[in-house]
Amino acid sequence: MITGEVTNVQKGIIEVLSDTGDYFRCLLRGKLLRKERTEKNVVTVGDKVVFGTLQRERGVITEVFPRKKCLVRRGAGKRGRHLDQVIAANVDQVFIVVAVKDPPYRKSLIERYITAARGTDLDVMIVFNKADLGIEKEAADDIQNYRELGYQVFLTSTLTGQGLEEVKESLKYKSSVLAGSSGVGKSSLVNAICRSNVKTAEVSDSTHKGKHTTTSYQVNLLQDGGKLIDVPEMREFAISGTEGLDEVFEDIAELFAKCRFRDCTHTVEPGCAVREAVTNGILDERRLRNYSKMKKESCGS
């Protein structure tokens, strides 16, 4: 029996890097295979596993070690039963990648990623890619706001090389997840950082949305130490818990404390400090809508 780490999961084939530095293509059998039929992500990238070897660098995974910090999102199960999907296991930080434009970024999606990451105590980095296209005022204001909230923000361009060295430095000796929507340049960033040749995608001229290219979960080992986990692009990201909400929406949490009712839903109750702040232009109504939607879905509604 050998121990190793899962580096790729695609269509039932699990790639494992053994502790001796050899790669094996593994399958699940027995209790793990039966478990996979009712649960999501019995094995995912970043998992530490035990496996037995077969011929020609093939193996069978027999045990998965307990996971530490994970990036998790909420998925839909059969008959409306929701199952958490572990995006990556045993990681330290999440890099949320957006494009300054083409396709335009969505602040609501950034808030969702941050909530999921902070809910499991993962550090958050935000990458505004395609900086060569120019930073408009709204993007500049958002970047400043995220920095004031304490998040490290990078401005990058794979065409000019801007910001790439800073990103590489922050990746050293850590296990990192690269997450974002299609078309934002994730694959190009992986190519530039890892000197690999990952397939890249164009942006649709008609919708300004990206075309999906990353179809599997892939771990990239970095020359200076550390691991970069590239995950398939996700246009939607439902959160599985409320643990990170108060941190991401600290302004709403502070206003909530001033509401007349402790169980205020910020919809129809009198004396709602949150709705009053929206009316007075103190709070962005978009943030309240996203907060309310995330809280509702995370509570299983």
Instruction: Report the pLDDT value the prediction gives residue 81, as an integer from 0 to 100.
Output: 53
Instruction: Report the pLDDT value the prediction gives residue 208, as an integer from 0 to 100.
Output: 38
Instruction: Report the pLDDT value the prediction gives residue 278, as an integer from 0 to 100.
Output: 96
What lies within 8 Å, CB to CB, of 229 at 6+ separation is: 45, 46, 88, 91, 175, 176, 177, 178, 217, 218, 219, 220
The residues with which 97 forms a beta bridge, in sequence order, are 127, 180
- Separation of alpha carbons 213 and 201, rounded Å: 6
Residue by residue, pLDDT tens for the chain (301 residues) are: 899 999 998 877 899 999 999 999 999 988 898 888 778 789 999 999 999 988 778 999 999 999 999 999 886 555 445 678 899 999 999 999 999 998 999 999 999 999 999 999 999 999 999 999 999 999 999 999 999 988 999 999 999 999 999 999 999 999 999 999 889 999 899 999 987 544 433 433 443 344 444 456 788 888 878 999 998 877 678 887 778 898 899 999 999 999 999 999 999 999 999 999 999 999 999 999 999 998 887 776 5
Enumerate domains of the chain plus CATH numbers.
2-64 (2.40.50.140), 87-230 (3.40.50.300), 249-298 (1.10.40.50)
Instruction: Report the pLDDT value the prediction gives residue 174, as an integer from 0 to 100.
Output: 95
Instruction: Report the pLDDT value the prediction gives residue 79, as an integer from 0 to 100.
Output: 44
Q: Which two tokens stand for residue 120?
A: 């499991």
- Separation of alpha carbons 28 and 75, rounded Å: 22
Instruction: Report the pLDDT value the prediction gives residue 292, as an integer from 0 to 100.
Output: 92
Cα 175 → chain centroid: 13
| Residue matched to tokens 């929507």 | 181
Instruction: Report the pLDDT value the prediction gives residue 76, as an integer from 0 to 100.
Output: 58
Q: Which two tokens stand for residue 30?
A: 């027995």
- The pTM (predicted TM-score) of the whole model is 0.84
What lies within 8 Å, CB to CB, of 244 at 6+ separation is: 114, 115, 116, 117, 118, 119
CA distances from 207 to 3, 114, 202, 204 (A): 46, 26, 12, 6
**How many residues are listed for the chain in this entry?**
301
Cβ burial, residue 79 (10 Å; 0-12/13-18/19+): exposed
Q: CB 198: neighbour CB atoms within 10 A?
A: 16
Question: Are the beta carbons of 85 and 36 closer than 8 angstroms?
Answer: no
61: three-class secondary structure by DSSP: strand
